[in-house]
């Protein structure tokens, strides 16, 4: 788990690097699907420059890794976008659940960089452990992805807020998310099957 001082250090570097990276990747809000167009180039450049500055930063060993970068072994998922209001995918729910259960992960950090404005761009930064904000996530049982309710999180987010949630409470909350997602998934599949059977019956 990162200390507050380590989070301050990481976020300070990101804030220092971001303006120049936006220039170097020729960021503009005028293209279609801004986030999709620039999240890859931005995240690649940010990872590269952080690693160049401090060898405590390490790139992931696999394309299937949960993190975009790690710092002293702590996993960090970078999310970049423009005036973000959606529900971005974070990671595999099952991996996050199982790694917590097996004591292989006690924190999973989201570093969200949200650009706004036109021309003279502003940037908002959100840096937090997702285990402490599970009520602002959503689980899709079909895809297996945990997603972030970004707009709702922004309304309550306080940087470096002291949040103490036990492993038991985290597991229970993840279980509640899974149960709700499971029941929603079954309802959707049941409705889809009923529609199929109605059409099939027309040919009976």
pLDDT, tens digit, 9 for 90 and up, residues 87-125: 889 999 999 999 999 999 999 999 999 999 887 899 999
CA nearest to 80, candidates 27, 1, 12:
27
Instruction: Give the rounded distance of the alpha carbon of 104 from its chain centre.
Output: 19
Helical segments of the chain, H only: 4-24, 34-53, 93-101, 150-156, 167-201
CATH class of domain segment(s) 4-201: alpha beta
Whole-number Å distance between alpha carbons of 130 and 136: 9
User: Could you read off the pLDDT tens digit of each residue along the chain, which spans 204 residues?
Assistant: 999 999 999 999 999 999 999 999 999 999 988 888 999 999 999 999 999 999 999 999 887 889 999 999 999 999 999 998 888 899 999 999 999 999 999 999 999 999 998 878 999 999 999 999 999 999 999 999 999 999 899 999 999 888 889 999 999 999 999 999 999 999 999 999 999 999 999 997
Residue ranges per domain, the chain?
4-201
**Rounded-to-integer distance, Cα 20 and Cα 32, Å:** 22
């Amino acid at each position: 788990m990162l200390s507050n001082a380590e989070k301050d250090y990481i976020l300070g570097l990101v804030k220092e690097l971001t303006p120049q990276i936006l220039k170097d990747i020729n960021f503009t809000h005028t293209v279609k699907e801004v986030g999709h167009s620039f999240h890859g180039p931005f995240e690649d450049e940010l990872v590269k420059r952080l690693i160049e500055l401090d060898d405590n930063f390490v790139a992931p060993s696999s394309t299937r890794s949960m993190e975009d970068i790690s710092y002293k072994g702590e996993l960090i998922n970078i999310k970049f976008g423009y005036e973000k209001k959606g529900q971005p995918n974070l990671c595999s729910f099952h991996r996050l659940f199982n790694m917590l259960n097996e004591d292989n992960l006690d924190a999973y950090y989201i570093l969200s960089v949200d650009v706004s404005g036109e021309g003279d761009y502003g940037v908002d930064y959100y840096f937090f452990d997702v285990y402490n904000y599970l009520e602002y996530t959503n689980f899709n049982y079909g895809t297996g992805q945990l997603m972030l309710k970004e707009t709702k999180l922004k309304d309550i987010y306080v940087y470096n807020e002291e949040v103490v949630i036990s492993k038991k409470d985290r597991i229970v909350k993840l279980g509640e998310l899974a149960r709700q997602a499971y029941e929603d998934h079954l309802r959707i599949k049941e409705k889809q099957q009923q529609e199929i059977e109605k059409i099939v019956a027309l040919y009976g």
